[in-house]
């Protein structure tokens, strides 16, 4: 609709208190996700990907002077050739490092409790920035739960698991995380 009729309809809707909302606009409670896409630690995936799992990890920059420095953490990931889809910093900032459509190398050798292997193929990886001695912050729990809710709206998420749940012989993260505070699909 253009010209006078479009302007008139917009004016009428505004007068009635209506606001325009794009059909593809995120819900008002959707978390802000900032892109910091990396060129390593993943492979492109073309076509639909059946994502039903979120794997929660924890990591920090163990090689640099500041454990919670995002640049240092990404440099460490680069050295190992790995990357998660998302990193949540100490203040609850959410950084997308790999596009959701792509397969990120975050889970390594792993197996789901239901027996499925190759977890990277059907999961999204979320890293919480925390050391082995610190605890997850309130802002990180809030951001993680908001991100889980958003991802569950966009994908048929059935499982939210800890890295240690899928690779118990070699992983013990996420550290300092009270799992009771982490949202699970289908629960309020």
What are the pLDDT digits (tens) for 134-171?
A: 999 999 999 999 999 999 999 999 999 999 999 999 99
Does the pLDDT value for residue 19 go beyond 50? no
Helical segments of 109-137, H only: none
Distance between CA 143 and CA 138 in Å, rounded?
A: 9
Band of pLDDT at residue 119, cut at 50, 70 and 90: very high
Q: Which residues are 37's β-sheet partners?
A: none
Q: Which helix (H) or strand (E) holds 103?
A: strand 103-104
More confident residue, 2 or 112: 112
Q: What is the pTM of this model?
A: 0.85
Q: What is the mean pLDDT of residues 110-133?
A: 97
Backbone φ, ψ for residue 12 (5° rounding): -65, -45
The mean pLDDT of 3-9, rounded to a whole number, is 46
Q: How confident is the model at residue 8, as a pLDDT?
A: 46
| Mean of pLDDT values over 110-120 | 96
Q: Which residues contact 148 (CB under 8 A, 6 or more apart)?
A: 54, 157, 160, 182, 183, 185
pLDDT at 9 exceeding the cut of 80? no
Asked which of 29-38, 79-88, 89-98 is least confident by mean pLDDT, the reply is 29-38
Under the banding of pLDDT at 50, 70 and 90, the label for residue 187 is low
Find, among 164, 187, 178, 135, the residue nearest to 55 by Cα.
164
What is the percent of the chain where pLDDT is above 90? 80
Please tell me the predicted confidence (pLDDT) of residue 113. Answer: 94
> By CB neighbour count within 10 A (0-12 exposed, 13-18 middle, 19+ buried), where does 14 fall?
exposed
Task: Report which of residues 188 and 106 the model is more confident about.
Answer: 106
Q: Are 128 and 115 in contact (CB under 8 A)?
A: no
- Mapping DSSP to helix (H, G, I), strand (E, B) and coil, where does residue 124 land? strand
Scanning the chain, the segments in alpha helix (DSSP H) are: 3-15, 70-80, 138-154, 163-166
List pLDDT tens digits, range 72-88. 999 999 999 999 999 99
In the chain the domains, ranked by start, together with CATH numbers, are 29-181 (3.40.80.10)
Compute the distance between CA of residue 59 and CA of residue 73 in angstroms, rounded to an integer: 8
């Amino acid at each position: 609709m253009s010209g006078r009729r479009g302007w008139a309809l917009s004016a009428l809707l505004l007068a009635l208190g209506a606001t325009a909302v794009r059909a593809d606009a995120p819900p008002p409670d959707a978390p802000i996700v900032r892109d910091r896409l990396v060129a390593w630690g993943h492979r492109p995936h073309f076509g639909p990907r059946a994502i039903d799992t979120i794997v929660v990890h924890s990591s920090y920059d163990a090689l640099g002077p500041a454990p919670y420095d995002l640049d240092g953490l990404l440099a460490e990931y680069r050295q190992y050739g790995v990357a998660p889809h998302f990193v949540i910093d100490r203040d609850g900032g959410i950084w997308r490092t790999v596009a959701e459509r792509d397969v990120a190398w975050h889970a390594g050798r792993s197996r789901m409790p239901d027996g499925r292997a190759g977890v990277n193929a059907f999961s999204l990886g979320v890293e919480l920035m925390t050391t082995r001695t610190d605890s997850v912050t309130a802002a990180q729990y809030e951001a993680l739960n908001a991100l889980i809710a958003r991802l569950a709206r966009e994908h048929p998420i059935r499982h939210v698991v800890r890295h240690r749940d899928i690779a118990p012989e070699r992983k013990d993260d996420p550290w300092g995380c009270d799992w009771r505070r982490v949202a699970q699909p289908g629960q309020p």
